[in-house]
Amino acid sequence: RKLFLASLVLFINIEHGSSKLLRLVVASVVSALFLAALTLARPFKQSDDLFLACIANLLLTCCFMLGTVVKLCESAAYEDMCKTLVGFDSARGASAFVIALTAAMLIISLLVVVLKTASAVRMPTIRLASSGRPPVLELPPECHFHGFISHSWG
């Protein structure tokens, strides 16, 4: 995803790609597909890591979609489209909307991270001395009992 969004998108319509919407649409679709794959695959052990990765990818997808709004409104070729599709009279109104929405998304994301951190700090947990992380106590389907020894008896 990172390689595609950082470099391969530049090869889409090389001559006039910077003035067209195709690059932003492709980047939005790739980011949304990666977000869907991330939520389905759950590649992180810690749920907090998955949560932060999903928030980051959601913000990235929103940025590409908001970039499409700005691109529609700033171009002289789409002058009527801005009012028709987006609802703003000028690129300035669309840009102010994008800035306000981006600030709101960042504030909400930071608020969620702070609340999750505060709730995690208050919860008492048993931690392994070797790693400082809580022990993995998942029971495989073929097992019927589980034991956890918290001390070294030696």
Q: Where are the domains of the chain?
A: 2-122
| Calpha distance 61→104 (Å, rounded) | 15
pTM above 0.85, yes or no: no
Task: Please give the pLDDT value at position 34.
Answer: 92
The tokens describing 12, both together, are 């889409």
pLDDT 10s digits, 29-46: 999 999 999 999 999 888
Please give the span between the terminal C-alpha atoms of the chain, in angstroms, as a whole number. Answer: 50
Helix/strand/coil (H/E/C) assignment for every residue in the chain: CHHHHHCHHHHCCCCCHHHCCHHHHHHHHHHHHHHHHHHHHCCCCCHHHHHHHHHHHHHHHHHHHHHHHHHHHHCHHHHHHHHHHHCCCCHHHHHHHHHHHHHHHHHHHHHHHHHHHHHHHHCCCCCCCCCCCCCCCCCCCCCCCCCCCCCCCC
pLDDT 10s digits, 56-67: 898 889 888 888
Task: Please give the pLDDT value at position 17.
Answer: 60
Decide if 28 contacts 5 (C-beta within 8 A).
no
Task: Please give the pLDDT value at position 148.
Answer: 65
Highest mean pLDDT among 15-19, 43-47, 135-139 belongs to: 43-47
Average pLDDT of the residues in 40-56: 86
pLDDT higher than threshold 80 for residue 53: yes
Backbone angles phi, psi at 71, to 5 degrees: -65, -40
Task: Please give the pLDDT value at position 38.
Answer: 93
pLDDT 10s digits, 76-102: 776 677 888 888 888 888 888 888 988
